[in-house]
A and B are shown apart, each in its own frame.
Chain A
Amino acid sequence: MAETINEVKFSDEAMAEIQRYISHYPEGRQKSAILPILHIAQAEFGGWVSPEVMDKVAEILNIQPIEVYEVATFYTMFNLKPVGKHVLEVCRTGPCCLRGADQMIDMIKQKLNIEEGETTADGMFTLKPVECLASCGSGPMLQVRELFYENIDSEEKLDEFLEMMRHKEHETPTWKK
């Protein structure tokens, strides 16, 4: 029984996408596809990668689980704990701060009543300040899943953004379209 509950199964569309990435590399170099696969896994399984998911990735790539763990823990985009529906990845680096990113992060904490790394009680938002997202000309800004939300430079715009997100479903990943 427990085995069935914990079994990790990628959708057929996700598996096709995984195979497409593996095919980009020479024979025997399939491990190269680990980062795109972890991105697919995170989108597929609720925005984070559990040890079970990482084990499944190792099985698909025919490598040791430790090879997946060491990669998933090195790259900051992979969430290793459950997260809220929308992870607010707010840029906290210099150029965005020149346009008010520090104040924006403070406002988010206040409005959602959470600290950095925490999730709201309703499971809607996780606050995850991140480093520079290559959007320095349009800060303050943040990323949720694949999308950027830029020029959030006033309380009104932040309120508007949070309200929109409360009613927003995630985009369907391209490989399912």
Chain B
Amino acid sequence: MGLKILTEHINVPGIETLEVYRKHGGYKSVEKAVKTMSPEEVVEEVKTSGLRGRGGAGFPTGMKWSFLAKPEGIPRYLVCNADESEPGTFKDRWFMEKNPHALIEGMITSSYALGANTSYIYIRGELLFVLRILEKAIAEAYAAGLLGKNILGSGYDLDLHVAPGGGAYICGEETALLESLEGKRGNPRNKPPFPAVKGLFQSPTVVNNVETISSVPWIVNNGGAEYAKIGIGRSTGTKLISASGNINNPGVYEIELGVPVEEFIYSDQYCGGIWKGKQLKAVVPGGSSVPILPANLILKTAAGEDRLMSYESLSDGGFVSGSMLGSGAFIVFDEDQCIVRNTWNYARFYHHESCGQCSPCREGTGWMEKVLHRIEYGHGHQQDIDLLVSVAKQIEGNTICPLGDAAAWPVAAAIRHFRHEFEWHINNPKEATAPGAVYRGQPETVTA
């Protein structure tokens, strides 16, 4: 089933306790880093590993770390983004719940690399039960001398705290997260300055995803070069994939990057095929904000090559015929699912979650929701499809943060690949709104 870096011991009974976690090699990277390596050496290993941000953007982690400003006498912060809220994504919650010490170990080793003496895990407010698990594990780590003053006698000090959000998708955007952590509304900040220069409390800050930080201990223990050997091309290492939708085995899977999409969907090791013996209609491969692809384009690229679970392969073809790996939220649709209804559902989500700061997003997401709602409920107009395309275009790139893009992309992609389904809804409102009615025609990608 491939190499397991993050989940090798995840099903060991008691792994959430410090004792069992240490018995299985836990906290080795802390010992190695604080006792035998300089912070710069840890950063170098992470750079060499090619590890990329696992929250969705895929930015090289080592490079992000090297941007951190280090002015004298000003504290630096590491903040873990555990605000996992992208529809389809549940890997971080699962991982923290089962193996909290793995994240804490990653936080200590990474904080040491960055020279942070206080670090925070910002977790979405709905996951208070996971916050309790993390706080219990953190207390164990303090008692064992792995946190606090003079960690393992090295002279390095670190305090680690968990902070809950309050139910706002936008706080997954790193500057909104920092605002929220400061006790304010989660309105994203204008950039520059970037968090690496002015982040939490106006101090240099790195914000990394749970999975990214949890990958650091293996890199420190085994070396960045070893990590870089795993995976394919610039998609190094392993990735947690949250598989959901109409499949036989929904759940979280750790894959070596580069597994063919077809194998991931149909192999019993992973999704186990489409449920109830149905046919595959479409996949959203990286969380609700990335473009949806019809069955033919998720299995093969436009050039006819096998599509792989990697950053490069999933984005092959750009937004014309490709999508994105994103956060690794793999949402599968069977033949009985309605693309219009699903697109309306996502549009409602983004309208609900827009912080309201930029008018293209605040107004545009509301328009898209309303127009999609009337198409879905049989009151669509002929011009509505072009109207949606136009609104999506005018949101994209015109907002402070990427929520606008995230709202625009799924609408644009659904129309690009399933335009006939939208037209069918508008032209046959009675038929389309009958209970259980679904468009049965073939998707046809229209590239305008």
Chain A interface (Cβ within 8 Å of chain B)? Answer: 24, 26, 29, 31-36, 38-39, 61, 67, 70-71, 74-78, 89, 92-95, 97-99, 130-139, 143, 146-148, 174
Known: A24-B163, A36-B163, A130-B167. A31 touches B182 (CB 8 A): yes
Q: Which A-chain residue is minimally distant from B75 (CB atoms)? A: A26
Q: Is the CB of B125 within 8 A of A174?
A: no
CB distance from A129 to the nearest CB of B (A): 10
B85, A76: Cβ atoms closer than 8 Å: no
Tell whether B430 is near chain A: CB-to-CB under 8 Å.
no
Q: Which residue of A lies closest to B165 (CB)?
A: A35
Q: Which of B12-20, B38-46, B228-236, B344-352 contacts A (4 or more CB under 8 A)?
A: B344-352
A38, A93, A137: residue with the most chain B Cβ atoms closer than 10 Å:
A137
Cβ-based interface call for B103 (8 A): no
Which of B1-9, B126-134, B302-310, B377-385 lies at the binding interface?
B126-134
Minimum distance in angstroms from B249 CB to a CB of chain A: 9
B87 and A71 contacting across the interface, CB-CB below 8 Å: no
How many residues of B are counted as interface, with CB atoms below 8 angstroms from the partner's CB atoms? 59
Is B345 within 8 A of A93, CB to CB?
Answer: yes
Let me know if A137 and B250 touch, CB within 8 A.
yes
User: B23 within 8 Å of A by Cβ?
Assistant: no
Residue of B nearest to A135 (CB): B90
Which A-B residue pairs are the 6 nearest by beta carbons? Answer: A75-B166, A77-B167, A137-B250, A136-B244, A31-B183, A34-B183
A29-B203 Cα distance, complex, nearest whole Å:
13
Q: Is the interface of B mostly helix, strand, loop or mixed?
A: mixed
Please tell me which stretch of B47-55, B214-222, B329-337, B386-394 contacts chain A, meaning at least 4 of its Cβ atoms lie within 8 angstroms of it. Answer: B329-337
* Inter-chain contact A146/B182, CB cutoff 8 Å: no
Our pick among B164, B167, B252 for the contact of A36 (Cβ within 8 Å) is B164
CA distance A36 to B342 in the complex (A): 34
Max chain B Cβ within 10 angstroms of own Cβ: one of A33, A34, A70: A34
Q: Which A-chain residue is minimally distant from B85 (CB atoms)?
A: A132
B161 interface residue, CB < 8 Å from A?
A: yes
Given the known interface contacts A24-B163, A95-B88, the answer about A35 and B244 at a Cβ–Cβ threshold of 8 Å is no
Which of A77, A132, A148, A174 interacts with B87 by CB under 8 Å? A132
Asked if A39 and B331 make an inter-chain contact with CB atoms under 8 angstroms apart, the answer reads: no
Considering only CB atoms, which chain B residue lies closest to A61 in the complex?
Answer: B183
Contact of A136 among B184, B242, B342 (CB under 8 A): B242
Q: Is the CB of B186 within 8 A of A94?
A: no
B84 at the interface (CB under 8 A from A): yes
Contact flag A137-B168 (CB < 8 Å), given A24-B163, A94-B349 = no
B168 and A75 contacting across the interface, CB-CB below 8 Å: yes
12 A/B residue pairs, CB under 8 Å, sorted by A: A24-B163, A32-B182, A35-B163, A36-B164, A39-B164, A76-B167, A95-B88, A95-B331, A131-B352, A134-B93, A136-B90, A136-B250
Q: How far is the CA of A6 from the CA of B183 in the complex (A)?
A: 26
Q: Is the CB of B346 within 8 A of A94?
A: yes
List residues of chain B with CB within 8 A of the CB of A147.
129
Check B198 for interface membership: any CB of A closer than 8 A: no
How far apart are the CA atoms of A75 and B163 in the complex, in Å? Answer: 14
Decide if B201 is an interface residue (CB 8 Å cutoff).
yes
B326 vs chain A, min Cβ distance (A) = 14
Q: How far is the CA of A98 from the CA of B252 in the complex (A)?
A: 17
Q: What chain B residues lie within 8 Å of A35 (beta carbons)?
A: 125, 163-166, 180, 183
Contacts of A132 in B (CB 8 A): 85-88, 169, 288, 349
Nearest Cβ on chain A to B402's Cβ, whole angstroms = 17
Q: Are A134 and B85 in contact (CB under 8 A)?
A: yes
Residue B125 contacts which of A61, A77, A93, A95 (CB distance < 8 angstroms)? Answer: A77
Contacts of B246 in A (CB 8 A): 98-99
Contact B252 A137 (CB under 8 A): yes
Q: Are B167 and A93 in contact (CB under 8 A)?
A: no
Q: A94 contacts which of B88, B166, B168 (Cβ < 8 Å)?
A: B88
Residues of A within 8 A of B89 (CB): 134, 136
Across the two chains, which residue of chain B brings its CB closest to A171?
B129
Chain A residues closer than 8 Å to B180, beta-carbon distance: 35
Cβ-neighbour of B181 out of A32, A78, A95 (below 8 A): A32
Are B185 and A71 neighbours in the complex by a CB distance under 8 Å? yes
- Whether B126 pairs with A137 at a CB distance below 8 angstroms is no
Residues in B neighbouring A29, C-beta threshold 8 A: 182-183, 201
